[in-house]
């Protein structure tokens, strides 16, 4: 499955997409600072197991974010989908440091959100991130998500308690953003 946007191609990530660069993102302290994966060693085997598990899951979709050149710059995931409620989570990683701050995250969020609303029976999407992760928060807000809440001192970040920002989007939120 492939989702195309103006500058990106999102395609379901395969074990074959796991490269030394990808493992490097997952092991880089700066890149994984706000990821839960930072709590364990990331090896080709552990990353392959994760990609294979998600590929086999009926309620999760992991897309690699690729430039037209075929360069893999990050990942975006939808799920798990909770069909009874019509909701799903969205998570994002722009692993290639040279591609951060260029709007690729926002573009990928918009594309995968449209896919979720149009094809997965989802009525609402949610995302959460550590409060200091301003780049991720900005990308989701620009894509049309709205701030819904703050979980105070919810997680540990480098030995300090850290707030968690909660964002959400409905199809209407996304359309309002396009009109702005």
Q: pLDDT tens string for the chain (180 positions)?
A: 889 999 999 999 999 999 999 888 888 777 766 666 765 677 888 889 989 999 999 999 999 999 999 999 999 999 999 999 999 999 999 999 999 999 999 999 999 999 999 999 999 999 999 888 898 999 999 999 999 999 888 777 778 888 999 999 998 877 775 554
What six digits make up the tokens of 21?
Answer: 């660069």
What class has domain 2-179? alpha beta
Q: What is the pLDDT of residues 24-35, one digit of tens each?
A: 888 877 776 666
**pLDDT, position 159:** 80
Partners of 78 in the β-ladder: 61, 90
| Domains in the chain: boundaries | 2-179
Among 67, 81, 69, 98, smallest CA distance to 4 is for 67
- Decide: helix, strand or coil at residue 157: strand
pTM: 0.90
Please state, as a whole number, how many other Cβ atoms lie within 10 Å of the Cβ of residue 16. 8
- Give the ranges where 18-170 is alpha helix by DSSP (H): 20-27, 44-56, 104-119, 134-143
**pLDDT, position 43:** 83
What's 8's DSSP letter? -
Instruction: Output phi, psi for 72, to 5 deg.
Output: -85, 120
- Helix (H) or strand (E) run with residue 17 in it: none
What six digits make up the tokens of 177?
Answer: 């953003």
51-62 per-residue burial string, b: 16 or more CB within 10 A, e: under 16: beebeeeeebbb
Q: Are 164 and 154 in contact (CB under 8 A)?
A: yes
**pLDDT, position 1:** 84
Q: Are 92 and 109 in contact (CB under 8 A)?
A: yes
């Amino acid at each position: 499955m492939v989702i195309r946007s103006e500058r990106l191609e999102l395609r379901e990530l395969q074990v074959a997409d796991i490269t030394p660069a990808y493992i490097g993102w997952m092991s880089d302290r700066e890149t994984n600072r706000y990821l839960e994966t930072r709590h364990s060693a990331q090896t080709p085997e552990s990353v392959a197991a994760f990609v294979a598990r998600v590929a086999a899951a009926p309620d999760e979709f992991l897309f690699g974010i690729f430039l037209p050149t075929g360069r893999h710059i990050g990942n975006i995931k939808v799920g798990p989908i909770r069909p009874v409620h019509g909701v799903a989570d969205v998570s994002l990683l722009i692993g290639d440091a040279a591609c951060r701050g260029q709007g690729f995250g926002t573009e990928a969020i918009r594309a995968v959100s449209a896919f979720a609303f149009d094809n997965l029976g989802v009525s609402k999407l949610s995302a959460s991130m550590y409060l200091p992760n301003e780049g991720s928060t900005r990308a989701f807000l620009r894509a049309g998500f709205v701030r819904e809440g703050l979980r105070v001192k919810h997680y540990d970040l480098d030995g300090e308690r850290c707030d968690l920002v909660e964002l959400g989007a409905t199809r209407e939120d996304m359309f309002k953003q396009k009109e702005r």
